[in-house]
Amino acid sequence: MSSISNMDHLSHWNQAHRDENYLLLLHLAGHTRLVVDFQDVYIEGCAVHCLLPGQVHYGMFMQDASAWVLALDAVRINENHRAVLAAFAISHQAMSIPPAKGELLRDSLLLLGALGNEYADNTDDQTLHSMLDVCIGQFVAACQQDQQFEEQSALRPLLITRQFRSLLMVSFRDMKSPSAYAAALNISPSYLNEAVKDTTGHPVSYWIHQEIMLEAKRMLFYTNNTVKEIAHLLGYTDTFYFTRLFTKTTGMPPLQFRTNSRK
């Protein structure tokens, strides 16, 4: 269901890896640098950050850092919270929070850990679930503490865009057309495209290709699969078409990206 770890105790934190869980990071002090999906993330002082399932990440350094990580199955996070965390995570920026809030969240995590030990033989206990919901709620509130972000989140185009991006992250292998996402969200393709373009500056097709090629980059970096195998796993039977699309989107052929990213 969930696990809590002090980052000092994560022996593999500086090795490139990917998890199937959400990772909610509470950073209390010091300096940390992570690389998440080929983007640098700098965390300083008291802050929160989130990593999504499937993101390839590794730590570069920690200096006088104190940090905790809460790992969660996706089923433990409700749809609205997942949308907020997804929108926050893709910015690749940590959110600074007041030290008092950081200490409260730390104490909540410690209590959750204690309850986890107490109910180790009964992980369905309602007390444990309620405490987990409290911790998740605090993380989500910290991610949304920017008042402007909260005000914007009430706008329907932004809500639609967040729903689309959340759906895209779990469906990009099977759903590759804007009309498929519009149908899943019960809106017209033209309205979905208008909402996404007004909110992000790019049409739906752009984000579909970006998500697919991001997963291709992860696989090129993290696995030894051939380009043909990667294309097949991402739903492309035509390897040449996949290679052209990757080159157009990324600016270099797949094998060149693999070589450059592993240097």
**pLDDT (0 to 100) of residue 148:** 47
Please list, residue by residue across 6-31, b when 16 or more beta carbons sit within 10 angstroms of its beta carbon and e when fewer do: ebeeeeebeeeebeebbbbbbbbeee
Q: What is the pLDDT of residue 259?
A: 94
pLDDT band at 150, cuts 50/70/90?
very low
CB 54 within 8 A of CB 20: yes
Q: Is the pLDDT of residue 216 over 50?
A: yes
pTM assigned to the model: 0.80
Q: Kind and range of the H or E element at 69?
A: strand 56-72
Report the alpha-carbon distance of residue 122 to residue 153 in Å, rounded: 37
The pLDDT tens digits of the residues spanning 9-29 come to 555 778 888 888 999 999 999
Nearest alpha-carbon partner for 168 in 136, 137, 214: 214
Asked whether the predicted pLDDT for residue 82 surpasses 60, the reply is yes
pLDDT at 147: 44
Burial class (CB in 10 A: 0-12, 13-18, 19+), 231: buried
Sign, CA dihedral 256-258-261-262, equals: negative
CA-to-CA dists, residue 72 to 12, 50, 174, 213, angstroms: 18, 11, 24, 26
